[in-house]
Structure 1
Amino acid sequence: MNSGLLLNGTISFAIMLSSLAFAWVLSRNRNQYNESSKPALFSLIVFWSIVGLTYLPTAARMFCAYLNNQELDAILYFIAAVPFAFVAVPLVFFIIYVITGSERIGEYIAFVFTLIGAAYLAFLYNSGIVGPIVTEWGSIFMINSDAAINLYMMGLFVIPTSMILGLLLLILLQRMPKRIRYRTALPLVAISFVFDFMLTDMIAILDVMQIFARVFVLIGTVLAYLAYFPPITFQEKLGIHEQMNDIQYAELVDPSIEFFSKDKSGNR
């Protein structure tokens, strides 16, 4: 029995707990956001919920590997693959909606990524997996399908990551108050951390790579929480404390990340 597997499972459990808690907090505070921001907010709630649902069976399978139950380990891997396959869907909708302000366009493109995720699952379940390879620090499966891997890399990794980087570049090129830049750039960096390292986690062929990726997923979740609910000391260091507490400023600026969203008339 390897204590490293327990650490791996504990990190996965922490990711699950923190991401689901974050999704719940965002949902609880949804009434604080205006109507034009709610579609993007809802997509973020779905995104963090999917992250949590992916790491719930992932954490459980680490403990199964610790107990040397390889059959249940494999079953839980397939269960975790279901929410993971669709993690790009709310993310793509969020990015498209923030840029265009159009729910319809966001839904169409999100539907395309839903089909990609479904195709990935079909290839995965049809071809099966190789493993598990249980080591001191992790339990690793390898996908036994080139088609699934290609869909994974292009449809679930390269395109969404490029969209995140493009939106981040757009934000950095905009002139805006420091508070707005903080509330937009940091969540995107956090989402990028979580999304990219989740994908790295799923294709990891080394136990160190697997646990390293999960540590960064956890860091990304914490960063996302700090982006939405920064401590006072953090605000003061960044020089955004006065802006966040300025009533006149708050009236002029949408307090959500989705300030780029257009309203129904197309105005920003």
Structure 2
Amino acid sequence: MSTGLLLNATICFAITISSFAFAWVLSQSDSQHNNKSRPALWSLITLWALVGLTYLPTTIRMIAAYMGNQQLDLTMYYIAALPFSFVAVPLVFFILYIIVGDQRISGYTSLLFVLFGATYLTLFYSSGVIGPTITPLTSLFTINSDIAINIYLIGLFVIPTAMIIGLLFLIFLQRMPKRLRYRTALPLVAISFVFDFMLTDMITLDDTMQLAARIFVLIGTVQAFLAYFPPMTLQEKLGIKKYEYILYETDEEEDYDEDDVEETYINV
């Protein structure tokens, strides 16, 4: 079979490793968070763990396709659909918690997206898939349920994406120091990047587009890591200082707060 499948498997494996590594590094910063910010932290850890769990069986899928094992390919596709269906849940919790700061409201709202994910999975597994179609670059499946696709698009994609855009809009409307704007906006852009291209990866029927989507998912994962742990050279170039890993922080910037009054900002 084509070496393009091995390239695809390598990209998926890189996404898996980087996502799990990012989740692990975030978990190690738990002691640096207070009780107010810890729920947001663990929602992010869950999000990146689900990304890794989606691309781990996808890696095996590409290897199975390379070896001509269609049954293993199909099995791994079904397994990958499980974490993929619930990626929106911690994302919605994270965004709502940043906006309202209430763990109960965020949790109850996230349960709605658990129901969306469960409904999608039920239709997905009951309707089955068509494939695999092996190409020189990838292995493609067609979801045999338009209703399942529409549920995911509307309930698990459009709404969370709109929430990300809305939160970004609020961030740019706020007056805040440059380092806090970087700290809040760039992670959301990276998450949106990964989230959008994961959907493209799952539903596209074009092998080149799927491979490109996975490359962009990998780029988004690296971007998210740089958003949380920027190297010193990047901090100097952007004019940002090393930040604390807390959700709500009181910060005083000499070049920003002309009246020397401390203000509280939401920090994701």
Structure 2 match to 1:10: 10
Secondary structure at 1:35 match in 2:
coil
In the aligned structure 2, how far is the partner of 1:259 from the partner of 1:4? 47
Superposed CA offset, 1:10-46 (max 9, x none): 0000000000000000001111112111101110000
Kindly report which structure 2 residues correspond to 1:29-178, keeping only aligned pairs within 5 A, or say none. Answer: 29-178=29-178
Secondary structure at 1:132 match in 2:
strand
CA contact (8 A) 1:197 1:213 kept: yes
Superposed CA offset, 1:95-116 (max 9, x none): 0110000111111111000010
Which consecutive aligned stretches of 4+ in structure 1 deviate over 6 angstroms post-superposition?
Answer: none
In the aligned structure 2, how far is the partner of 1:12 from the partner of 1:259? 36
Structure 2 match to 1:264: none
Secondary structure at 2:68 match in 1:
coil
Amino acid across the alignment from 1:100: V
CA deviation after TM superposition for structure 1 residue 147, in Å: 1.2
Structure 1 match to 2:221: 221
Kindly report which structure 2 residues correspond to 1:186-201, keeping only aligned pairs within 5 A, or say none. Answer: 186-201=186-201
Structure 2 match to 1:260: 266
Identity %: 64
Call closer, same or farther: CA 1:259–1:55 in 2, change over 3 Å: farther
Amino acid across the alignment from 1:211: L
Secondary structure at 1:36 match in 2:
coil
Unpaired segments ≥5 residues, structure 2: 253-263
CA deviation after TM superposition for structure 1 residue 73, in Å: 0.3
- After superposition, the CA RMSD in angstroms is 1.8
CA contact (8 A) 2:176 2:265 kept: no
CA deviation after TM superposition for structure 1 residue 245, in Å: 7.5
Unpaired segments ≥5 residues, structure 1: 262-268
In the aligned structure 1, how far is the partner of 2:2 from the partner of 2:206? 16
Give the count of matched residue pairs.
253
CA deviation after TM superposition for structure 1 residue 259, in Å: 4.9
Q: TM-score under structure 2 normalisation? A: 0.91
Amino acid across the alignment from 1:182: Y
1:244 equivalent in alignment to 2:242: yes
Superposed CA offset, 1:66-122 (max 9, x none): 001111100000000000000000000000110000111111111000010000000
In the aligned structure 2, how far is the partner of 1:41 from the partner of 1:68? 41
Amino acid across the alignment from 1:244: K
